[in-house]
Amino acid sequence: MIIHKEGYKSIAISVIVFGLINVLSFYFVSPYVPILSLLLFIVTLCLLLFMISFFRIPSRKLTIDEKAIIAPADGKVVTIEEMQADEYFSDKRIQVSIFMSPANVHVNRNPVSGEVVYSEYHKGKYLVAWHPKSSSANERHTVVYQHDGKELLVKQIAGAMARRICNYLQVGQAANQTEEMGFIKFGSRVDLLLPLGTNLQVKIGDKTKGGVTVIANW
């Protein structure tokens, strides 16, 4: 396991805060209320370990398959429905939504290989990630891949806790399946808009692993 580059600053700040709190606690709290000092140490250590864990990139065998659409994120499938596209596309699409809790790995990966034909950031609200309107109302970044004549849209959507969406793709770039497309800090959601008739391989409630789980076949 390694730590993602987006976590270096956050972890460094967390280590400094952890050290300051516990040094002050050792000198000013521990002599009078040692149990409180111990409790502060345990709580702050747990928070520091959570911060480190949040930015982890676990070692895993990634799935490479040109006929498959691979999960762009770890999480839980919370939506599978036919919907009217409201960005880039003007037709109906199958929406598959993956909810990412703060405990999930938050690296986002390219679900397919292909050319990036659209990449746009949108300011927005911070509704809870499972809210029906979060897909169109929340802060988000939308990417469209063109693969073998077909197009796939992926939205990185901020949640109530998420305050920064990172996306590394630019229009015209050649994207490789399972390589990093971006990162979302804290709880969030990723939507995929698939062509009608796509052969889905997941159902609501399924757990996904980014870069591993097959969402659908073309």
DSSP string, 119-140: EEEE--B---TTSTTHHHHB-E
Which two tokens mark 199?
């052969």
Q: Which of 216, 212, 182, 218 is nearest to 74 (CA)?
A: 212
How many percent of the chain have pLDDT more than 90? 79
Strand order, beta sheet including 165-167: 107-109, 180-184, 165-167
pLDDT-derived band at 136 (thresholds 50, 70, 90) equals low
The single residue of 37, 113, 134, 188 carrying the catalytic annotation is 188
Cβ atoms of 56 and 107 within 8 Å: the answer is: no
Query: Could you tell me which CATH number the domain at 68-217 has?
Result: 2.70.70.10
Q: Which segment of 20-29, 49-58, 119-128, 193-202 scores lowest on mean pLDDT?
A: 119-128
The residues near 54 (Cβ < 8 Å, ≥ 6 apart) are 7, 102, 106, 186
In tens, the pLDDT along 2-59 reads 999 999 999 999 999 999 999 999 999 999 999 999 999 999 999 999 999 989 999 9
Quote the CA–CA distance of 203 and 211 in Å, as a whole number: 18
Residue entry with tokens 């409630």: 205
- Whole-number Å distance between alpha carbons of 22 and 40: 7
Is 37 considered catalytic here?
no
Average pLDDT of the chain, as a whole number: 91
Helices 8-28 + 34-54 axis angle, to 10 = 180
**How many Å apart are CA 188 and CA 102, to the nearest integer?**
8
